[in-house]
Amino acid sequence: MAYTQSNIANTGVVQTAGGRFKMRALAARVSSWLVVIVVLFLLVEFPRGVLVDGGQATSPIHTFKWRQFIDNIHQQLHAWLTGSAGQSVESSTPLRDVLHNVLPSLELLLISFAVVLVMGTAKGLYDGVHTAVRSPGTVLSNGVQWTLEAVPDFTWVMALIALSFWLDQRGRNIHVFFAGSTNFWTGTLVPALILSLLPVMYVARAVRLAVESQFEQQYLTTASAKGIPQGRVVVRHLLPNCYGTIAASLIPVIGMLLSALVVVEFLFARRGIVNGLFQSMGNSGALPVYSPVSTVPSNNPLVMYYNFDPVLCLYYLLVCVLMFALLWLIGRGILRILGFHGQTNPFSARLRNARTASTGPWALTVGAFMLMVLLAAGLFANKLPIPKATAKDLLHFGKSITQVSTPPFPPSPSHWLGTDVEGHDLLSLALHGTLTTFGEVGAAAFLVVAVAALLAFSSSVLELQGLRWIIHMWSTLFTLIPGVIGVLLLINIPQLYWAGVHVLPDHWTWGPIHVWIYFALLCLVECGRVASNLQFHLDAEFHKEYMEAAWVSGNSRIGAFFIHVLRTMLGIAVETLVAEFVRVLVLIAVLGYLQVAIRANWWLSEPPWPAGWHFNQSASDWGALIAANSNYFRAYPWVLFAPILFITWTVIALNLTLTGIQKWLNSEPTRRSASYPLAFRIVSIWIKPEINSSLHLQETNL
């Protein structure tokens, strides 16, 4: 009896400790969100400066005063403390404007979130249970997985808009409109499904891995030996052990939904918090917050500065945070109702042997081949039988002399992907921008991973707890707020936007300093998330059982890293670099649609083009090509076909390459390939000579 009472007492202690741990975790999460809100508050209240006539100066004049910054903070805090909603620039009732846009976005997010939880879990269970069976169903499921993961969200949106344009033109008279539609099916359900595509695949892959890890475990073998039907085993035993995986996926899934909401609402011209946020930040349609405008005389340009409404902007950002918290609570509540209380299964199946991996090297081979084809086409673009990038096709004559058409021309045998408004062949422009795009995106991705790796090493290996807290806050900030919103909030600061500008009467261009600022902002947005991910992998490696032998043998934490952990982290770094290349490429494309390009350029047009200032393609990269043609997409959808198709091709190729890399990293090496790689040997010799002798001793023992 005493033994039973002791067990009961110990169980109570464990439950109390578990409750305290949960309360501490919840308190840490709430405190991190509060810190994020404070950072957003300071960023929004940052004075945007005063822009004046730039025609008589070498650059637009902007001012910054700390007194103005402090006054902005004081006024907003006074409005909150006195119970006032604050005075908006556009409206005296900002809360009413925000609530007017919240319900459409909330409806979209709730439908998408439900689709993600149901469809993602169901697909993951099916794929995991049938992972060893090659049938038409599994082949189709895997094909859908690769396709939806590879094709970016904006590709689907633009394809639907182009389809509606094609159905409405050329006498078909089939009126199916997705942009600006108020119909539930085309205006809500279709955007919600597009919004959920990538998150569904993310949850499905996570659940599939969780299901695969349950095989070869005794409880499933016992259940099958008792004659229990497979469906009941899956629902009663296998599915509950996947709840922990689903719970861990909630935060990245909600972050994906909010990031995709930026693209879906904006491109579909749908009323919601994103459009309201863009308007409060000063963005009008696809125009950036700052635009040059013509005056009389026309050689004296002025800067049009759309009003940045700090009250509305702050409220919309707070709504984004609250929606994130609401979806997280709904997801956790559903899992709690289903019986999830925080338990996870710590066991997993053994890794597959590299020789018998299910996918094999085909993914890596196909992905590398697609990349080489694209790079070769870009390298020899001048040799291909297509129009030159500098050639202009200005007039097309019809059957009669009165039938004359001007660019942009639709796709045709002479222009496979059409022309832009100046008559340039879009396929040729995209091909000539391939090498530039790969260089810029590759440099940005490498910068992000390098800085993130240094931060993760300092916080995990050197155990700098203050830096660990900063990385957590950094990652939380740009998880709650999409990266596009973060870049726009920062780039709209006049001191950043107008850095390095050169003003001429009919031409404004930006110098190299603007390129560095652009890359720095991309690094700022992406670095926290990547550093948090690498830090997690480092912590996991240091908590493995074999590391106890390293401590017993007298190795320091740094020495154990170079001897035992560096080999694994090099592979993870390569995997992260490929994934980050995809993220940066898509982010640059979305920013390009908003005419926030790496190299900005405005020019004063002359006949036959409409008079006024237009964003010009100052560089050959795909983001600049999108920026130069985004204003014409609604009327001429083909003007974005070329860069979107090239970006989609690149993302598919990189995803296939990443799949092959992941298979190699997650496979058990064969005896022949179990030696240390050459790169690791070189690094170890350069850093510490005694490490090399240790490796030689270990290989001798093998």
Q: Is 112 in the same domain as 204? A: yes
| Co-location of 634 and 701 in the same domain | no
- pTM beyond 0.95: the answer is no
103 and 18 both lie in a single domain: no
Q: Does residue 476 lie within any of the structural domains?
A: yes
Same domain, 441 and 337: no
Instruction: Give the number of other CB atoms < 10 A from CB of residue 46.
Output: 20
Tokens of 497: 């936007």
**Does some domain include residue 158?**
yes
DSSP SS3 for 456:
helix
Contact status, residue 472 vs residue 36, Cβ threshold 8 Å: no
Q: Tell me, yes or no, whether 294 lies in a domain.
A: no
| Of 279, 311, 345, the domain-final residue | 345
Compare 293 and 30 and report the one with higher pLDDT: 30
Residue pLDDT, tens place only, 336-381: 888 776 655 444 444 343 333 444 477 888 889 999 999 999 999 8
With residues binned 3-state (H G I as helix, E B as strand, rest as coil), the percentages for the chain, rounded to 5, are 65, 5, 30
CA 506 to chain centroid: 36
User: Considering the domain boundaries, does residue 134 fall inside one?
Assistant: yes
% of the chain with per-residue pLDDT over 90: 17
Instruction: Based on the fold, state whether residues 680 and 655 are members of the same structural domain.
Output: no
Least confident of 122-131, 396-405, 462-471: 396-405
Split at pLDDT 50, 70, 90, the class of 35 is confident
User: Do 649 and 674 have their domain in common?
Assistant: no
Q: Say what percent of the chain tops pLDDT 70.
A: 74
Domain shared by 682 and 640, yes or no: no
User: Looking at the structure, do residues 496 and 587 belong to the same domain, yes or no?
Assistant: yes
Question: Is pLDDT at 6 greater than 50 in this prediction?
Answer: no
Whether 41 maps to a domain, the answer reads no
Indicate if the pLDDT at residue 204 is higher than 70.
Answer: yes
pLDDT of residue 606: 65
Residue showing tokens 């190729």: 653
Instruction: Say which residue, 224 or 408, is predicted with more confidence.
Output: 408
As a whole number, mean pLDDT of residues 535-555 equals 81
Q: What is the mean pLDDT of residues 485-514?
A: 81
Domain annotation covers residue 62: no
The single residue listed with the structure tokens 């009003």 is 307
Residues 157 and 127 in one domain: yes
Cα(448)–Cα(583) distance, integer angstroms: 11
Residues 533 and 660 in one domain: yes
Q: 258-298, pLDDT tens digit by residue?
A: 888 888 888 888 888 888 888 788 765 555 566 665 544 44
Mean pLDDT of 402-411: 79
Q: Of 8-17, 255-264, 570-579, which gets the smallest average pLDDT? A: 8-17
Give yes or no: residues 207 and 238 share one domain: yes
Residue 638's CATH number = 1.10.3720.10
Mapping DSSP to helix (H, G, I), strand (E, B) and coil, where does residue 509 land? strand
The answer, yes or no, to whether residue 51 has pLDDT greater than 60, is no
Tokens coding 309: 């409404």
Helices 310-337, 66-81: crossing angle, 10 deg rounding: 50
**Within this chain, do residues 160 and 223 fall inside the same structural domain, yes or no?**
yes
Strands 290-293 and 302-305 come out as antiparallel
Domain residue limits at 24: 1-31
Tally of domains within the chain: 4
Domain-located, residue 438: yes
Assigned domain for 52 exists: no
